Amino acid sequence: MLVVKAKIKTAVPGYNVSGDLAEALNAKVEELIKKAAERAEANGRKTIMAKDL
């Protein structure tokens, strides 16, 4: 799990955060990281940078 539920709660004080939100957000983050890695590789790098997002 890349996303911490407690940190989501910190970002939206006053709201409850369901477990499935954390799981869905985690899936999106993993997808973004994989796409960024593909972009870095396509550009001949082994380092993933913010610009790859």
pLDDT at residue 7, rounded to an integer: 94
pLDDT tens for each residue of 11-44: 999 999 998 999 999 999 999 999 999 999 999 9
pLDDT at 29: 97
| pLDDT on residue 19 | 86
| pTM: predicted TM-score of the whole model, two decimal places | 0.84
CA distance 32 to 42: 15
DSSP 1-53: --S-HHHHHHHSTT----HHHHHHHHHHHHHHHHHHHHHHHHTT-SS--GGG-
Contact between 26 and 17 under an 8 Å Cβ cutoff? The reply is no
